[in-house]
Amino acid sequence: MALASVVNIASTSTAQAGILAQSKGAMTKAVIVDQALKIASSQGLEGLTVGHLAEVLAMSKSGVFSHFGSREELQLAVVREYYRRFEARVFQPALQEPRGLARLQKMINLWMQTSIQELSAGCIFISGAVEFDDRPGPVRDELVRSVQTWRAALKRAIEQAVEVGDLKTDCAPDAMLFQIYSYVQGLHHDARFLQISRSVDIATQSIQQIIDQNRSPRA
Amino acid sequence: MALASVVNIASTSTAQAGILAQSKGAMTKAVIVDQALKIASSQGLEGLTVGHLAEVLAMSKSGVFSHFGSREELQLAVVREYYRRFEARVFQPALQEPRGLARLQKMINLWMQTSIQELSAGCIFISGAVEFDDRPGPVRDELVRSVQTWRAALKRAIEQAVEVGDLKTDCAPDAMLFQIYSYVQGLHHDARFLQISRSVDIATQSIQQIIDQNRSPRA
Question: What is chain A written as a DSSP string?
Answer: --GGGSS--TTS-HHHHHHHHHHHHHHHHHHHHHHHHHHHHHH-GGG--HHHHHHHHT--HHHHHHHSSSHHHHHHHHHHHHHHHHIIIIIHHHTTSPTTHHHHHHHHHHHHHHHHHHHHH--HHHHHHHHTTT--SHHHHHHHHHHHHHHHHHHHHHHHHHHTTSB-TT--HHHHHHHHHHHHHHHHIIIIIS--TTHHHHHHHHHHHHHHHHB-TT-
* CA atoms of A180 and B186, how far apart (whole Å): 10
Stretches in chain A below the pLDDT threshold 50: 1-10
Question: The domain spanning residue A195 has which CATH number?
Answer: 1.10.357.10
Distance from CA of B133 to the nearest CA of A (A): 4
The domain tally of chain B equals 1
pLDDT band at B12 (very low <50, low <70, confident <90, very high): low
**Average pLDDT across chain B, whole number:** 91
CB contact under 8 A, A147 and B193: yes
Is B197 part of any domain? yes
Please report whether residue B90 resides in a domain: yes
Q: Could you tell me which residues come within 8 angstroms of residue A7 by beta carbon, excluding any fewer than 6 positions away?
A: A20, A23, A24, A27
In a domain, A5, yes or no: no
Mean of pLDDT values over B70-76: 95
Q: Does B192 touch chain A (CB under 8 A)?
A: yes
Contacts of B126 in chain A (CB under 8 A): 130
The terminus-to-terminus CA distance of chain A in angstroms comes to 53
- Listed residue (A191, A38, B47, B70) closest to B56, CA to CA: B47
Instruction: Compute the nearest-CA separation of A182 from chain B (Å).
Output: 5
Nearest by CB to residue B42, choosing from A129, A134, A206, is A134
The pLDDT value given to residue A12: 56
pLDDT > 90? residue B31: yes
pLDDT at A22: 75
Residue B90 is given by DSSP the state I
In a domain, A179, yes or no: yes
Q: How far apart are CA A191 and CA B130, in angstroms?
A: 12
For residue A28, tell me if it sits in a domain.
yes
Rounded average pLDDT over B95-117: 96
Please give the residue that has the higher pLDDT: either B108 or B123.
Answer: B108
pLDDT reported for residue A3: 47
- In this complex, the residue of A144, A178, A190 whose CB is nearest that of residue B186 is A178
Judged by CB atoms closer than 8 Å, whether chains meet at A147 and B186 is answered as: no
Tell me the residues of chain B between 61 and 80 that have a Cβ less than 8 Å away from chain A. Answer: none
CB contact under 8 A, B129 and A189: yes
pTM of the model: 0.88
Q: Which domain holds residue A116?
A: 13-214
State the pLDDT confidence band at B14, using cuts at 50, 70 and 90.
confident
Q: What average pLDDT does the segment B17-33 reach?
A: 85
Residue A159 included in any domain: yes
Q: Is B28 in contact with B54 (CB distance < 8 Å)?
A: no
Q: Is B45 helix (H, G, I), strand (E, B) or coil?
A: helix
Average pLDDT, integer, range B178-206: 96
Please give the C-alpha separations between residue B165 and each of B1, B99, B101, B177, B215, in angstroms, as whole numbers.
54, 11, 9, 18, 9
Q: Who contacts B165 (Cβ-Cβ below 8 Å, separation ≥6)?
A: B100, B216, B218, B219
Written in H, E and C, the secondary structure of A83-106 is HHHHHHHHHHHHCCCCCCHHHHHH
Q: Is residue B97 part of a domain?
A: yes
CA angle, corner B18, sides to B17 and B23, nearest 5?
95
Whether A73 is covered by a domain: the verdict is: yes
Highest mean pLDDT among A134-143, B42-51, B114-123: A134-143
